[in-house]
Amino acid sequence: MKFLQRSSYLAARKFIDDNARPFDVKLAEMHFDEGSPCAVLRELQKFQNDDGGFGGGIELDFTLPLSSPMATSVGLRYLVNIDKEEQARRMVRSAISYLERAFVPERNGWYAVPSSVNDYPHAPWWHYDEEEGQTVIDRSWGNPTAELIGYLYRYWDMVTTLHVEHLLNDAVAYFNEREDYASEHEVYCFIRLYHLVPESIAANLEGAITRAVTQLVNTDREAWEHHYVPTPLRFVHDPDGSHFGIADDLIDENLDFIVDTLERYGKVEPTWSWGQYEDDWKVVRRLWTGVLTLDALLTLDRFDRS
C-alpha cells in the first residue's frame, strides 16, 4: 500500500494553482486549506446562465456558452456537496427551474446538449448529428437523465412541474431491465442517482449496478495509463460505501497507480484527445489536467492515502 509523499502533494497543488481554472483552485483550497465555500460558489456561478442552466465549458469537452442539461448536471454535481450555503440553494433552485423547462416529454428525460453545441469548439463525441437529432451520447438514455432525476429527488421541494416519483420509478425499471451495459458514462450517472436517493430505493439499483460494473470495469494497469478506460475508482467513490463487486485489492491497486502517477509526473493528464480544434484542445488539455490532478488528490484523501 502506497501513500503520497508530501513533496508530490505540494507539486500537484502547485500545478493546480498555476494551471487550473480559478474554480478548481478555489475547490482545492476549500478541501485542503479550509477555504471558503462562498469562494467556490462565486467561481461556480460564473458558469450559470440567466436561465438557471449551466454552460461555458464547465464540462470541458464542449465550450458551448449556452445552457445544456449535461453542463447543468456537472454544476449540480458540485452544488450538492455545499448545498447548506444559502447561495448554493438559490443556484440549485434556478438550475431545477431550467431543467423543468428543458425536459423533453417524448424522451421522458433530457437530451445532453442542443444542436448549437456544433457552433463552438468541442470533442467529436459531443457533435450534434442533425439527421439523428442527437449526439452519440444521447444513445444512452440515462446520461445525463438518471443523474438529473437524482437531483430532482434530492431537491423535491423545489420541483413544481415534473412528477419526480414517476421519473425515478421509470429510471429504476429501465436500468434493471438491461442485460448489456455498453456505456460506462450511463452507469456513472446511475451510481450518482444511487447516492442521491434513500437506501430503500438504492437497494433496488445495487444489483443492476453491480452487473454493469462487472461487465465494464477495466483491470489492466497499463490501459489505465495509456487509454481512456473505466478504472475501478470511477465506480467507487466512498471507501465505506458499496464497491459494486469490485475487489478491495483491485481498488488498492488503482490507488497505488494514482500515487505512482503523481509521484512520477506531479499531475494527471487526460488519456484522450479531441483530434480537432487543435489550438482549443491545447488549452482544454491543460485545464483537464488541473481537474484530473485535483480529483486524484481528493480520491487519495478520501481513501486515507495522502
Residue 14: the pLDDT is 98
Residue 22: the pLDDT is 98
Residue 147: the pLDDT is 98
Q: From CA 6, how far away is CA 30, in angstroms rounded?
A: 19
Looking at residue 158, the DSSP 8-state letter turns out to be: G
Confidence class for position 222, pLDDT limits 50, 70, 90: very high
Encode pLDDT of 174-210 as tens digits. Answer: 999 999 999 999 999 999 999 999 999 999 999 999 9
Kindly state the average pLDDT of the residues 277-282: 98
Q: From CA 290, how far away is CA 283, in angstroms rounded?
A: 11
Residue 261: the pLDDT is 98
Kindly state the average pLDDT of the residues 73-93: 98
How many degrees, rounded to 5, is the angle at CA 187 between CA 181 and CA 192? 165
Confidence class for position 36, pLDDT limits 50, 70, 90: very high
Kindly state the average pLDDT of the residues 289-306: 98
Question: Considering the chain, what is the average pLDDT of its residues?
Answer: 98
Residue 120: the pLDDT is 98
Reading the block at residue 82, the C-alpha cell is 455545499
How many degrees, rounded to 5, is the angle at CA 70 between CA 68 and CA 76? 100
> Residue 166, Cα to own-chain centre: how many angstroms?
24
In angstroms and rounded to an integer, the radius of gyration of the C-alpha atoms of the chain is 19
Q: Spell out a b/e string for 31-66, using b for 16 or more CB atoms within 10 Å of the CB, else e.
A: ebeeeebebbbebbbebbbebbbbbbbbbbbbbbeb
H helices present in the chain, as ranges: 6-19, 22-32, 37-45, 69-79, 86-102, 142-154, 164-177, 184-196, 199-216, 221-226, 232-235, 248-265, 278-302
Residue 132: the pLDDT is 97
What three-state secondary structure class fits 48?
Answer: strand
Encode pLDDT of 135-176 as tens digits. Answer: 999 999 999 999 999 999 999 999 999 999 999 999 999 999
Kindly state the average pLDDT of the residues 97-105: 98
Residue 269: the pLDDT is 98
pTM over 0.85: yes
